[in-house]
C-alpha cells in the first residue's frame, strides 16, 4: 500500500493523499503487503500457496501476493532484469549454486548471515547460497537426487533387478524393448531434460577423479580430455544408437515424459527427483508405480547418487519491508515450513532444515532415494554446486548427441569451448 500510494500523494496533492490514508487508517494501515516471485511449475505454485497460507494464518498483519514467472533461461532473464532495474519483488525464489553467483549477490541481495534462523539451516545447503563469505538464502523443498526414475510395474512384470552397472542397465533396456515397452524416455522439446545422463553421472566422475571440480574451475580439467567425464556423453549416444528411445523423443515434452513413465508406457526416465512432486500433482494415482535409482557407473562396487540442492528464497536490497520479508524466511526455514511443504506436495527427499523429519509414508521413489543419503559416501553434489562454471549450451549439445546428430567427443569439446565464455563473464582466474 505505502509504495503504490507514494506517487499519488505527490501528484494528486495532499487532499487525495489524506483521503487515501484516512480511508485505510483504521483497517489497512497495520497490514504490510509483500510480493513474492516464484517459477510457474505446478509443484512450486502448490507448495508456495500452502506456505503463504500457513504464514498468513500466523501473521494476520502481513499479506503476501504471489507472482509467477517462467522457468529455465527465460526465468533467469526475468530475475536478472528485475534485479538490475530495481523492480524485484520483496522476496523471490531462485536456484542455489552456480546460477546464484550470476546475480552478483553482494550487490543485489540482503545478506542473512546475522539472522538467527540460519542456525537451523544445514551447512551442506548454506555453502551453496554463500558468496563472498555471506549467506543469502533459505532452502525451499528438499535435497534432490539426479538419476533414473523407473516404472516399478514394468520391473515387476519382467522380473528385473535394479542395475548396479551401466552394462546391467543396458541389459535391462534390451529386455524391456523386447517386451514392447519404451526402455528410455527422452523429451527434447524441453531441451533441459536432455542433460541428465551427463549431469547425473557426476558421482561416478568424482569417484574416479576426486579433484575434478577444483581443476575444472581452475581451467585444468576438461570434459573432452577426461575419460570419466566423457562417459556421460557416451551413455547418451549408446542409448540412441541402440534405438531405446521413444519414437517421438524429439518432440515430446517433460510433461509427456512424466505421463509415459507413470502410466507405464516407458520404463526409465533420467530425471531429477523433483519430478516426484510433479507426478504427485498431475498423476497422483500412479505415484506408487514410480521408483528411483542412481545412475550406475562401470564398477558395481562404486554406486552412489549425484545430488542437487533445492531452490532458495532471497530478499533483494530494494525491498521496503525487510523485517516482514525476514519473518517469512524465518517461517520457511522452520519445522512448520517443512510441514506445509509436505502437506502440499508430499515429501520428496530429506529436508535441509534442522528438526524436519519425513512422514512415515513417503512416495516409493522418495523411499528409494533416502538410503543413499543415510550411508556415508554414497552421495556427491552435482558439478554446479562445486564449481561456478556451467556453460549455457549443454542442453543443445546433449540434444544433438541424443538425436545422433553429433558424436559425444565433439559435443564434449564444444561444451568445453562454451564454458570458457561463462568463466570469463564471471571473471574467474586462469581463463
Partner 1 sequence: MTTTVSTPIAVPAKPRHRRRSSPYPTWFLLPAAIVYGILFLIPTFASLYFSLTRWTLFNSSFIGLDNFVAFFEEPFLIQGVVNTIIFALLTCALKVVFGLGLAVLLTSQIHARGLLRSVVFFPVLVSTVGVGIAFTAMMHPTDGIINAGLGLLGIKGPGWLTNPSLAIYSVAFVEVWRGVGLATVIFIAGIVSIPQDYYEAARIDGATGWERFVYITLPLSRPAMVTVVILSFIHGLRNFELVWAMTRGGPGFASDVLASVIYKQYQAGFYGLSTAGNVVLFVLIAAMAVPLYLYLNRKEGHQ
Q: In terms of CB distance, is 102 or 302 closer to partner 1?
A: 102
| Residue 123 CB burial class (10 angstroms; 0-12, 13-18, ≥19) | exposed
Is 392 an interacting residue with respect to partner 1 (CB under 8 A)? yes
- What sign for the dihedral angle of Cα 144, 145, 150, 153? negative
Binding mask 161-180 for partner 1 (x = CB under 8 A): --------------------
Find the binding residues for partner 1 in span 93-112 (CB under 8 A). 102-104, 107-108
Q: In terms of CB distance, is 152 or 240 closer to partner 1?
A: 240
Is 240 an interacting residue with respect to partner 1 (CB under 8 A)? no
Q: In terms of CB distance, is 46 or 79 closer to partner 1?
A: 79
Q: In terms of CB distance, is 4 or 107 closer to partner 1?
A: 107
Whether residue 315 contacts residue 81, with contact meaning beta carbons closer than 8 Å, is answered with no
Q: In terms of CB distance, is 82 or 378 closer to partner 1?
A: 82
Give the whole-angstrom CA distance, residue 56 versus residue 333.
Answer: 15
Give the residue, chosen from 124, 165, 191, 407, that forms a contact with partner 1 under the rule CB under 8 A.
191
Give the residue, chosen from 37, 46, 83, 353, that forms a contact with partner 1 under the rule CB under 8 A.
83
Give the whole-angstrom CA distance, residue 117 versus residue 353.
Answer: 10
Is 2 an interacting residue with respect to partner 1 (CB under 8 A)? no
Give the residue, chosen from 39, 126, 384, 400, that forms a contact with partner 1 under the rule CB under 8 A.
400
Is 237 an interacting residue with respect to partner 1 (CB under 8 A)? no
Give the residue, chosen from 91, 279, 414, 423, that forms a contact with partner 1 under the rule CB under 8 A.
414
Grid coordinates representing 7 are 506517487
Give the whole-angstrom CA distance, residue 55 versus residue 389.
Answer: 36
Q: What is the DSSP letter of 164?
A: S
Instruction: Give me the residue label for grid cell 495532499.
Output: 14
Contacts of 15 (CB under 8 A, 6+ apart): none
Is 132 an interacting residue with respect to partner 1 (CB under 8 A)? no
Q: In terms of CB distance, is 144 or 252 closer to partner 1?
A: 252
Whether residue 400 contacts residue 393, with contact meaning beta carbons closer than 8 Å, is answered with no
Give the residue, chosen from 8, 28, 53, 251, that forms a contact with partner 1 under the rule CB under 8 A.
251
Instruction: Give me the residue label for grid cell 502440499.
Output: 344
Grid coordinates representing 61 are 498483519
N residues, the chain: 431
Find the binding residues for partner 1 in span 62-81 (CB under 8 A). 73-74, 76-77, 80-81
Binding mask 337-376 for partner 1 (x = CB under 8 A): ----------------------------------------
Taking the complex as a whole, the smallest distance from the CB of residue 414 to partner 1 amounts, in Å, to 6
Sheet with 138-139, edge to edge strand ranges: 62-69, 32-39, 91-94, 312-314, 138-139
Find the binding residues for partner 1 in span 198-217 (CB under 8 A). none
Count of residues in contact with partner 1, rule CB under 8 A: 36
Taking the complex as a whole, the smallest distance from the CB of residue 81 to partner 1 amounts, in Å, to 7
Instruction: Give the helix ranges, DSSP H, for 242-347.
Output: 254-262, 274-282, 322-332, 335-345
Question: CA-CA distances (angstroms) from residue 184 to 36, 157, 169, 236, 295?
Answer: 38, 17, 10, 10, 13
* Residues at the site binding partner 1, with contacts judged by CB under 8 A: 73-74, 76-77, 80-81, 83-84, 102-104, 107-108, 188, 191, 247-251, 392-393, 396-397, 399-400, 403, 405-406, 414, 417, 421-422, 424-425, 427
Amino acid at each position: 500500500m505505502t509504495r503504490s500510494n507514494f506517487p499519488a500523494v505527490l501528484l494528486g496533492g495532499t487532499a487525495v493523499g489524506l483521503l487515501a490514508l484516512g480511508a485505510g487508517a483504521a483497517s489497512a494501515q497495520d497490514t504490510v503487503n509483500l510480493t513474492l516471485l516464484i517459477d510457474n511449475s505446478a509443484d512450486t505454485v502448490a507448495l508456495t500457496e500452502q506456505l503463504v497460507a500457513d504464514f498468513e494464518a500466523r501473521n494476520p498483519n502481513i499479506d503476501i501476493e504471489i507472482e509467477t514467472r517462467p522457468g529455465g533461461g527465460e526465468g533467469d532473464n526475468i530475475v536478472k532484469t528485475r534485479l538490475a532495474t530495481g523492480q524485484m519483488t520483496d522476496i523471490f525464489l531462485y536456484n542455489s549454486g552456480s546460477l546464484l553467483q550470476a546475480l552478483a549477490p553482494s550487490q543485489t541481495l540482503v545478506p542473512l548471515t546475522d539472522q538467527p534462523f540460519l542456525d537451523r539451516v544445514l551447512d551442506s545447503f548454506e555453502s551453496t547460497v554463500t558468496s563472498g563469505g555471506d549467506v543469502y538464502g533459505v532452502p525451499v523443498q528438499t535435497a534432490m537426487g539426479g538419476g533414473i526414475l523407473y516404472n516399478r510395474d514394468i520391473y515387476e512384470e519382467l522380473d528385473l533387478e535394479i542395475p548396479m552397472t551401466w552394462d546391467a542397465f543396458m541389459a535391462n533396456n534390451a529386455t524391456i524393448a523386447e517386451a514392447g515397452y519404451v526402455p528410455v524416455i527422452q523429451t527434447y522439446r524441453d531441451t533441459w531434460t536432455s542433460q541428465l545422463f551427463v549431469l547425473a553421472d557426476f558421482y561416478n566422475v568424482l569417484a574416479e577423479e576426486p579433484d575434478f571440480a577444483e581443476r575444472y574451475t581452475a581451467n585444468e580439467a576438461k570434459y573432452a580430455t577426461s575419460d570419466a567425464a566423457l562417459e556421460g556423453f557416451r551413455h547418451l549416444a549408446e542409448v540412441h544408437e541402440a534405438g531405446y528411445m521413444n519414437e517421438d523423443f524429439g518432440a515430446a515434452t517433460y510433461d509427456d515424459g512424466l505421463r509415459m513413465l507413470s502410466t507405464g508406457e516407458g520404463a526409465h526416465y533420467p530425471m531429477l527427483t523433483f519430478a516426484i512432486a510433479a507426478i504427485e500433482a498431475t498423476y497422483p494415482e500412479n505415484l506408487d508405480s514410480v521408483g528411483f535409482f542412481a545412475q550406475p557407473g562401470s564398477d558395481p562396487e562404486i554406486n552412489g547418487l549425484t545430488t542437487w540442492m533445492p531452490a532458495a528464497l532471497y530478499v533483494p536490497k530494494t525491498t521496503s519491508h525487510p523485517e516482514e520479508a525476514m519473518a517469512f524466511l524465518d517461517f520457511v526455514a522452520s519445522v512448520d515450513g517443512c510441514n506445509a511443504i509436505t502437506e502440499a506436495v508430499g515429501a520428496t527427499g530429506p529436508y535441509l532444515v534442522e528438526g524436519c523429519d519425513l512422514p512415515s509414508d513417503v512416495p516409493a521413489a522418495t523411499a528409494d532415494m533416502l538410503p543413499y543419503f543415510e550411508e556415508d559416501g554414497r552421495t556427491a553434489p552435482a558439478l554446479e554446486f562445486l564449481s561456478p562454471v556451467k556453460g549455457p549450451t549443454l542442453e543443445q549439445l546433449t540434444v544433438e548427441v541424443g538425436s545422433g546428430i553429433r558424436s559425444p567427443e565433439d559435443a564434449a569439446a564444444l561444451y568445453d569451448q562454451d564454458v570458457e565464455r561463462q568463466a570469463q563473464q564471471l571473471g574467474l582466474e586462469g581463463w
